[in-house]
């Protein structure tokens, strides 16, 4: 990863910092969208896949942070809070990749696009904030889009939709909790604690998991190993570093708007690489347009009403 970052820095050193930040953020979002493609290509069970992902990601983060200083300076209560959030992150990723295996990458990405709207509903209750009428309205507008997606999908894939929605809810919950604790330490420290705790949680869970199904495969083949390394080191660690660097020069509004492109990039990649357009009807894409339209309108309304 350091070689890739060094090459990138040399290639972009003459760019304006803001332009470079936008390039980095779009690259990060593209990498995040590619996560779903790799999840479909990897043949391992979702829980085993996530175990390897958080393992490789945690190892890579050891080269980016000072672990000894982290545990010395951070209060035990805060560390335990991040461990709890890490367990939620692990469950989110397990349900995310399970949704891909039960349906496909495009369907999973559409359901994940509802995460921002689940956040708008859950955050007022979790953070004791005022409920905003326009957020509730947008949440209701997503329903027709999701209904089109469900109705246009084969029954065999519909379990993937519900699993994806569960994953989106989990993502919303740990996102709200992270927002509450983000000021306590550096973002990379938070990521390490959460990835590490997700790995420990899944390590405890796996023996029981394999006890129910001894036919499950744990060791990846060579193709899966390459995909796992790309997923962990490039799509996760490098993508996260690029996104963090971009936030130094880009407003939160512009950042959120760009991040909303993740399902767009992901679905385009799924069409090009996985040819998923051959198994999805026109109604699916009309539903996608409705969901994404609501997601893109949300930051504009939020920006408008919070200024007034």
What tens digit of pLDDT does each residue of 66-123 get?
999 999 989 999 999 999 999 999 999 999 999 999 988 888 888 887 877 787 788 8
Any residues with CB less than 8 A from the CB of 70 and at least 6 apart, and which? 185, 189, 192, 193
Residue 7 in domain? no
Which residues, 6 or more positions from 185, have their beta carbon under 8 angstroms from its beta carbon? Answer: 70, 73, 74, 78
Selected residue with higher pLDDT from 278 and 209: 209
Q: Which long-range contacts (CB under 8 A, 24 or more apart) does 1-7 make?
A: 1/60, 1/233, 1/234, 1/237, 1/238, 2/63, 4/234, 4/238, 5/238, 5/241
* Of 53, 46, 145, nearest in space to 99 by CA: 46
pLDDT at 200: 96
CA distances from 203 to 42, 114, 227 (A): 20, 30, 21
CA distance linking residue 91 with residue 285, whole number of Å: 28
Contact 65, 189 (CB under 8 A): yes
Query: Would you say residue 9 lies in a domain?
Result: no
Residue of 175, 83, 165 lying closest to 127 (CA atoms): 175
| pLDDT digits 0-9 by tens, 131-145 | 777 777 777 777 788
Environment class of 161 (CB within 10 Å of its CB; exposed 0-12, middle 13-18, buried 19+): buried
Judge whether 236 lies within some domain: yes
Q: Which residue has the higher pLDDT, 281 or 165?
A: 165
pLDDT band at 251 (very low <50, low <70, confident <90, very high): low
Q: Judge whether 12 lies within some domain.
A: no
User: How buried is residue 256: exposed, middle or buried, by Cβ count under 10 Å (0-12/13-18/19+)?
Assistant: middle
Distance in angstroms (rounded) separating the CA atoms of residues 100 and 160: 7
The answer as to whether 14 is a domain residue is no
- The pTM assigned to this predicted structure is 0.84
Domain assignment present for residue 17? The answer is no
Task: Give domain status of residue 10, yes or no.
Answer: no
Instruction: Choose among 214, 207, 209, 223: nearest CA to 46.
Output: 209
Number of helical (H) and strand (E) elements in the chain, helices listed first? 15, 0
Nearest CA among 1, 196, 236, 299 for reference residue 96: 236
Looking at residue 235, the DSSP 8-state letter turns out to be I
Residue 59 burial by Cβ neighbours in a 10 Å radius (0-12, 13-18, 19+): middle
As a whole number of angstroms, the distance between CA 129 and CA 8 comes to 42
- What share of the chain has pLDDT > 70, as a percent? 91
Mean pLDDT of the chain: 84
Question: How many domains would you assign to the chain?
Answer: 1
Tell which residue, 279, 283, 188, has the closest CA to residue 242. 188
Residue 41 has pLDDT above 70, yes or no: yes
Determine, yes or no, domain membership for 238. yes
Residue 232: give the domain boundaries.
23-307
């Amino acid at each position: 990863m350091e070689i890739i970052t060094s090459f990138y820095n040399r290639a972009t050193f003459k760019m304006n910092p803001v332009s470079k930040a936008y390039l980095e953020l779009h690259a990060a979002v593209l990498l995040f969208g590619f996560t779903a493609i790799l999840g479909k290509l990897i043949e391992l069970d979702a829980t085993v896949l996530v175990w390897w992902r958080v393992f490789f990601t945690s190892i890579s983060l050891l080269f980016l942070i000072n672990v000894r200083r982290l545990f010395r300076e951070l209060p035990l209560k805060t560390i335990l809070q991040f461990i709890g959030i890490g367990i939620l992150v692990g469950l989110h990723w397990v349900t995310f990749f399970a949704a891909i295996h039960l349906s496909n990458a495009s369907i999973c990405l559409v359901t994940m696009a509802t995460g921002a709207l689940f956040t708008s509903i859950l955050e007022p209750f979790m953070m004791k904030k005022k409920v905003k009428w326009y957020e509730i309205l947008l949440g209701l507008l997503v329903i027709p889009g999701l209904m089109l997606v469900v109705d246009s999908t084969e029954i065999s894939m519909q379990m993937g939709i519900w699993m994806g929605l569960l994953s989106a809810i989990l993502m919303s919950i740990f996102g709200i909790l992270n927002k509450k604790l983000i000021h306590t330490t550096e973002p990379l420290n938070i990521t390490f604690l959460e990835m590490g705790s997700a790995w420990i949680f899944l390590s405890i869970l796996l023996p029981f998991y394999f006890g129910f199904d001894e036919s499950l495969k744990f060791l990846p083949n060579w193709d899966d190993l390459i995909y796992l390394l790309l997923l962990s080191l490039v799509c996760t660690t490098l993508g996260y570093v690029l996104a963090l660097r971009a936030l130094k020069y880009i407003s939160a509004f512009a950042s959120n708007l760009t991040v909303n492109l993740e399902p767009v990039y992901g679905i385009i990649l799924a069409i090009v690489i996985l040819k998923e357009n051959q198994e999805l009807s026109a109604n699916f894409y009309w539903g996608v347009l409705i969901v994404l339209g609501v997601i893109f309108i949300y930051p504009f309304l939020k920006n408008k009403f919070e200024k007034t």
